[in-house]
Amino acid sequence: MAAWSAERVSLGGSWLVPGVGAGGCPELLGGGGVFVWGCGRPSPVGPCVGFSRRGGGAALLVGLGRRSLSLRASLLSGSGGLAAVLLALAWVAGLVARAAFHGVRRFELERSCCYSALLLDEERGRLFVGAKNFLLSLSLDNIAKQEHKIYWPAPVDWREECNWAGKDITSDCVNYVKIVHHYNRTHLYACGTGAFHPTCAYVEVGNKMEDHVFRIDPSKVEDGKGKSPYDPRHNAASVLIGDELYAGVATDLMGRDFTIFRSLGKRPSIRTEQHDSRWLNEPKFVGSFWVPESENPDDDKVFFFFRETAVEAQGLGKSTYSRIGQLCRNDLGGQRSLVNKWTTFLKTRLICSVPGADGSDTYFDELRDVFLLQTRDRKHPLVYAVFSTSSSVFKGSAVCLYSMNDIRRAFLGPFAHKEGPNYQWVPFQGKVPYPRPGMCPSKTFGSFESTKGFPDDVIQFARHHPLMYNPVYPMSRRPVFVRTNVDYSFTQIAVDRVNAADGQYDVMFIGTDKGTVLKVINVPKESWNNMEELLLEELEVFKVSPVLMHFFFSQQLYVGSDTGLAQVPLHRCSVYGKACAECCLARDPYCAWDGTSCTRYLPNTKRRFRRQDVRNGDPNTLCSGDHHKHRVAERKLYGVEGSSTFLECIPKSLQAKVTWTFQKHPQNPRAEVRRTKGDVLRKRLSASNIFRRFFFLTHTLITDFSTIVIHLVWYLIKIRKDTLPLAGAARPPNKKWKHLQEIRKGRNRRTHDGKPNPRAPRSAGE
């Protein structure tokens, strides 16, 4: 026999199966005796397993998703302990086989990290990645294959100079590739930190998919100031439009001069006003996009999303606000004032808040990421943004949705102006000069052909009034998805619009700082104006929690982080089980029941037995004739006398609730079973229960539908008293040692008898 103990430990990186990640399997855990069983859950990865020996014992380490177990066995003299360990390893092998990988692929490069710049090229079928000292070209079909790489380190003298400036030679004084853009049909444009010497290069990739070209021409390497940050810890938001690069970045070594900078191209380089907190005040750039305003390209605007210290937050201390800024592509700067500076730059606050019952709102002020969802009209995309709270007391994250109409309306509203005895921020009530600051010079809205022809009063007004008074509110004035009181924060978002049988759904893939990806949709209740947030899946993509993840779409989800790359399929219908009810209850717009299995839903496919109900998820209607096909599985479980058990079953659908039914003990049923929070059942096995059978039935309940998931049969094993002692355990004292201990106790024992205790006779040698 082997005596087992169990404890929860943090999931580390020292597992012996590095190719298998941490999955989301439930477990059945015992205290004195441990036997674990998983009932399944949608997860892309399986458990991590490790085995070690210390002294006379053995430890079996099992990582189960965000949980982990350490199963320790003290080996007995003989084969009993080894048999127990082999039995546990056999169980783990079965668990690994059951926890399928479901198509998730990973990529890591030795001596590199920080895969922060991703660029999709569907025409070539490649994924271009910028990382530490490397540029990568990976296959879109399988990022683990067909790898091409360019080693692009910083020069030795730059690294030495960086080190002399007090920076770390290994973590700071290297080249982190932060920007990768398409430049033309044959070249990319990439920029890196270059050991605090920003540098950019043109990367040749060939003209066709068959051209296996991937190289940097040393003669085409140029200065990257104003394009890439100096410090690898700083973000860079950039967009390449035509042959012009627009970047929000720090342009000095100390990271104090933040600017929005236009470079490359034939037009002059333009930047924001330097060292003016009204323009930019310690910004953290998040993203940038180009959105056409009309059919005339002269009206096109570039939008920057960032967060900064708010100058208008008076009396609130140092507060952070989220911002959206706009500028015109054809801005050439002023003629006498704001020379080589933006004359069309405006910004306003981006609000994401939850209305309170008392009228006060809860604000999510830390903008983390934005995603532009294109619609049929390129001039009116939808803006999805991820926020977190800045408060140290209240922790939470939210996703808000904005329309371009609301954004444009805010920039056409009143300007923020500081006046009065207390210098309060109020709407500007005076005369706004013509042409209105923020308008692009074009024939659509005026007769000016260039910003250099703007009157001086327009330039001066734009210089002193870059902030708008009205903020941008989300659609419906509330977030589309909120999470509070959880141990993670949202960091990234990507959205895919999916056609389902009952309408269109925007599927949100939300990254967290714990390495997980949440798959979320909004479902209408009574109407499309009253939405219900629905968490479909929670995928654990990375074992080690990344600081930041980066998302890109191309029929699959590509995730970059500090530790590696991951390729996640958008639809994984097979994880929802093999029954019609399970497929329907999942409410995944990607999936439908085709009569035999849960498969990908294709709107154009003419199949008779396609069943899908995302809005209601009612299997009573769709699967009324399939109940007889569902067979309940039966599992045999074994426990050790005196052990405490922990049973947990996580259903395949995150919308399901679990209940348990069981055979009670006739004498003391409450002592046997105790429910705890989270639909969990615990039980302590005693000698009176030896070889009795216990039946546990778990049901998933959604609306009026319920089904039996599993039938457990429990057998109790009695431990015999003549079991051999554990190896390494303390041996019982022998009789001689026990006799000497009794004599010592007798000498030290105080009694009420006045006579002294008789002493033993002295030996002849004394």
d(CA 517, CA 505): 18
State which residues form the domain around 278. Answer: 234-567
User: 65 and 133: one domain?
Assistant: no
The domain boundary, picked from 233, 251, 282, lies at: 233
* 700 vs 650: CA distance, rounded Å: 9
Q: Tell me the C-alpha distance between 433 and 439, whole Å.
A: 11
Most confident of 87-96, 353-362, 586-595, 619-628: 586-595
User: Residue 385: what pLDDT?
Assistant: 97
Q: What CATH number is given to the structural domain containing 644?
A: 2.60.40.10
Q: How far apart are CA 2 and CA 6, in angstroms?
A: 13
Whether residues 347 and 329 share a domain: the answer is yes
Residue 112 shares a structural domain with residue 54: no
Q: Is residue 187 in a domain?
A: yes
615 is a domain residue:
no
Strands 705-717 and 633-640 turn out to be parallel
pLDDT digits (tens, 9 = 90+) for 116-139: 899 999 888 899 999 999 999 999
* Percent of the chain predicted with pLDDT > 90: 42
Q: Residues 391-397: what's their mean pLDDT?
A: 82
The CATH number covering residue 426 comes to 2.130.10.10
Same domain, 81 and 51: yes
- pLDDT at res. 595: 84
Q: Which of 233, 256, 282 is the last residue of a domain?
A: 233
Please say whether the beta carbons of 719 and 685 come within 8 A: no
Task: Give me the long-range contacts of 522-530 (CB less than 8 A, separation at least 24).
Answer: 522/480, 522/481, 523/587, 523/614, 523/615, 524/615, 529/476
176 and 322: one domain? no
Please tell me the predicted confidence (pLDDT) of residue 494.
92
Q: Which of 210, 233, 256 is the last residue of a domain?
A: 233
Residues 176 and 36 in one domain: no
Under the banding of pLDDT at 50, 70 and 90, the label for residue 529 is low
Lowest mean pLDDT among 335-349, 604-618, 741-755: 741-755
What domain count does the chain have? 3
Residue 603 lies in a domain: no
Residue 595 lies in a domain: no
| Section 650-675 average pLDDT | 61
- One DSSP character per residue, 91-155 reads HHHHHHHHS--TT-EEE--TT-----EEEEETTTTEEEEEEBTEEEEEESS-TTSS-EEEE-PPP
Please indicate, yes or no, if residue 97 is contained in any of the structural domains.
Answer: yes
The pLDDT value given to residue 74? 36
Structure tokens belonging to residue 461: 């007004």
pLDDT grade for 641, boundaries at 50, 70 and 90: low
Whether residue 250 sits in one domain with residue 286: yes
Q: Give yes or no: residues 110 and 71 share one domain.
A: no
Shared-domain flag, residues 385 and 490: yes
- Contact by Cβ (8 Å): 270, 331: yes
742 domain residue, yes or no:
no
The beta strand positions in 374-452, using DSSP E, are 382-388, 396-403, 416-419, 424-427
Confidence band for 674, pLDDT divided at 50, 70 and 90: low
* Residue 117 and residue 82 share a domain: no
Identify whether 760 is part of a domain. Answer: no
User: What does the pLDDT read at residue 668?
Assistant: 56
**Within a domain: 731:** no
Q: Tell me, yes or no, whether 710 and 639 share the same domain.
A: yes
**Which stretches of 251-300 are assigned E, i.e. beta strand?**
258-264, 284-291
Average pLDDT over residues 201-219: 87
Pick the residue with more confidence: 49 or 211? Answer: 211
Verify that 151 and 193 share a domain, yes or no: yes
Query: What integer pLDDT is reported at residue 24 of this predicted model?
Result: 32
pTM, entire model: 0.76
Supply the mean pLDDT for the chain: 77
